[in-house]
Amino acid sequence: MHDWSLSTATREHRSRLLQGMAEAVAVKGYGETTIADVVREAGVSRRTFYEHFSGKAECLVALYEAASRNALRVLREAIDPAHGWEEQVERAIGAYLHCMASNPVLMRTLFVEILALGPEGLEARRRVNREIADYMVAVVNAPHVTPQLAMAVVGGIHELVLQAIEDGKVDELPELTATAAALVMAVARR
């Protein structure tokens, strides 16, 4: 029992640190955010921070990956074989975009600030995009939908998301559902 409560506390601290990173970066930008800002927002000690992360870059990458896994989980859960594939595509993309729109502060952190890490942030972004592209290839299951083509689709959709973020329209992300779904369907139908 003791080990379980310890792991629960560890998960709670990590979660608070990730939330603290998101809040601090939203206010100050990644470059100006300090570990002191993160631990203050998280309500934990500096020591606790270093028990989980070697530095703020590792914390930001962990935040990016956790939020991205959550969005991908939402995308996967929206697939319902009871509906035709076109409706499934639209539902899944709509759920994905709604998930992103539900946290505008986090979206700016993930789509803009992650790039402040340079190659490390770019690699984290590519890993996530590859995971989504691989999922698309598996779901569409058509020989002409290659990993490269799926990556192009994911990149295109994420550019639309980035544009909405830059325009201050994160709350309007669900309005991109029809456009993003049309892109996926056009590629899948070929």
Q: pLDDT confidence of 2, banded at 50, 70, 90?
A: very low
pLDDT at residue 134, as a whole number: 93
From residue 32, give the alpha-carbon distance in Å to each of 42, 149, 168. Answer: 17, 37, 21
- Average pLDDT of the chain is 90
Residue 187 and residue 139 in contact, taking contact as beta carbons nearer than 8 Å: no
The answer to whether residue 34 sits within a structural domain is: no
Question: Residue type at 81?
Answer: P
The yes-or-no verdict on residue 4 having pLDDT over 60 is no
The answer to whether residue 177 sits within a structural domain is: yes
Structurally, the chain folds into a number of domains equal to 1
The answer to whether residue 178 sits within a structural domain is: yes
Range of weakest confidence among 7-11, 31-35, 45-49, 117-121: 7-11
Q: Which domain range does residue 172 map to?
A: 57-189
The answer to whether residue 1 sits within a structural domain is: no
- The domain that holds 69 is classified in CATH as 1.10.357.10
User: pLDDT: is 157 or 107 the higher one?
Assistant: 157
| Burial (0-12, 13-18, 19+ Cβ within 10 Å), 104 | middle
Q: pLDDT confidence of 82, banded at 50, 70, 90?
A: confident
User: pLDDT: is 139 or 54 the higher one?
Assistant: 54
The answer to whether residue 180 sits within a structural domain is: yes
The share of the chain scoring above pLDDT 70, in percent, equals 97
**Mean pLDDT, residues 13-25 taken together:** 94
pLDDT at residue 119, as a whole number: 94
The answer to whether residue 117 sits within a structural domain is: yes
pTM more than 0.75: yes
pLDDT at residue 108, as a whole number: 79
Closest by CA position to 92, among listed 75, 70, 72: 75
| Burial (0-12, 13-18, 19+ Cβ within 10 Å), 171 | exposed
The yes-or-no verdict on residue 107 having pLDDT over 60 is yes
119-176 pLDDT tens trace: 999 999 999 999 999 999 988 888 889 999 999 999 999 999 999 999 999 999 999 9
The answer to whether residue 89 sits within a structural domain is: yes
**Would you say how long the chain is, in residues?**
190
The answer to whether residue 52 sits within a structural domain is: no
